Amino acid sequence: MSQKPPFEHSQFAHCESGVVSTLLSAYGLKISEPMAFGLTSALTFVYLPFVKVNNLPLIAYRSLPKSIINTISKVLHVKMERKNYPNPRAANEDLKNLVTKENKMVGLQTSVFYLPYFPKDMRFHFNAHNLLVYGVDGEDYLISDPVFEEAVRCSEAELSKARFAKGVFAPKGFLYYPKTIPQNIDFTPIIKKAIVKNAKAMLTPFPFAGIKGMRRLAKKIESLENSEANSRYIKNYLTHIVRMQEEIGTGGGGFRFLYAAFLEEAQKYELNKAILEEASKLIIHSGNTLREFALYCVEGSRKIEKLDTKKIAAKLIEASEYEEKAFRLLKKL
């Protein structure tokens, strides 16, 4: 039997980058969460008014689910085993084999709603939550879930439900782990490419993404006041934005701070330090501004009669300005 990979459960700001960080580190490639996030150009902003979730528009502050897993293997040339399964029986058989016989640690995609160890209030139908399975004990799987302070456990039946939840981003039992990891990776050009790619994505002319997307959402918020929308809808709308910003995996403009941490770490490589430093500051500033924006959204829904949509929209525009400056700088890296 091969040696179990050295592994330590840690808590992370974001599930997918956290899982990728722990997984690669356990298989011998030490990589921090900010690095996993930054190398995969995962920072974004998307506002799609025509795609509805619970009758509210789709808003995202980070890239699509699974994109960190897919992109990291592409940019680092890590061979990832990626599997879907037709049914829970096949999925569990394979998972048990991998974890007990081959002593592997594997990543899984799950739905938060069916994971019993999550607090009731956190359980929504979000199908792209990532976690790690590192062992079996009796009927339970031993799990390292990046949202939790300690390792947790979950029965096979309940984990199967979570892995085979239906709907948008249905996981279909998705399981992954690295097969081969290249030696002596030269990070400098990879980091540079990832940053420039992220900058281009944030500065895209596509009106529903990046800086433009932020401004479009700001406009929409401003128009809420004069629309026929009732106060219940406005309340749901504003808190929905906050939940997409803060709740799904991370906190308080958390993705911005995560990216800023990546830009700091990138300074250890031979890249233009001045640009990275300045951009990191701007992104932190944007993160702080987004946090104020979230606070305004919540205050506005708390006292709907005092709602000032202009003030809320202006905050979002302010954040978009810092991000524009930051990414214009980074594009020239």
Evaluated on CA atoms 313, 209, 278, 73, the torsion sign reads positive
Strands (E), the chain: 43-53, 56-62, 79-83, 106-110, 129-137, 140-144, 152-155, 175-180
Q: Nearer to other proteins by C-beta: 78 or 282? A: 282
Q: Which residues 245-274 are close enough to bind other proteins by CB under 8 A? A: 246-247, 250-252, 254, 257-258, 260-261, 264-265
Q: Nearer to other proteins by C-beta: 177 or 322? A: 322
Binding mask 38-77 for other proteins (x = CB under 8 A): --------------xxxx----------------------
3-state DSSP assignment of residue 262: helix
By CB under 8 A, tell whether 147 contacts other proteins.
yes
Q: Which of 129, 163, 212, 285 binds other proteins (CB under 8 A)?
A: 285
By CB under 8 A, tell whether 123 contacts other proteins.
yes
By CB under 8 A, tell whether 294 contacts other proteins.
yes
Structure token digits, residue 282:
């701007």
Structure token digits, residue 145:
């879930």
By CB under 8 A, tell whether 129 contacts other proteins.
no
By CB under 8 A, tell whether 301 contacts other proteins.
yes
Q: Which of 204, 267, 272, 288 binds other proteins (CB under 8 A)?
A: 288
**Phi, psi of 24, rounded to the nearest 5 degrees:** -65, -40
Q: Nearer to other proteins by C-beta: 156 or 264? A: 264
3-state DSSP assignment of residue 285: helix
Q: Which of 201, 287, 319, 320 binds other proteins (CB under 8 A)?
A: 287
Structure token digits, residue 226:
């004069």
By CB under 8 A, tell whether 167 contacts other proteins.
yes
Element (H, E) at 160: helix 156-163
CA 68, CA 176: separation in Å to the nearest integer? Answer: 12
Q: Which of 29, 58, 94, 148 binds other proteins (CB under 8 A)?
A: 148
105 Cβ partners below 8 Å, 6+ apart?
4, 5, 7, 23, 26, 27, 99, 132, 133, 134, 144, 177
At residue 232, what is the residue type? R
Residues at the interface with other proteins (CB under 8 A): 11-13, 33-34, 52-55, 113, 119-125, 147-149, 165-168, 170, 232, 235-236, 239-240, 242-243, 246-247, 250-252, 254, 257-258, 260-261, 264-265, 281-282, 284-285, 287-289, 291, 294-295, 297-298, 301-302
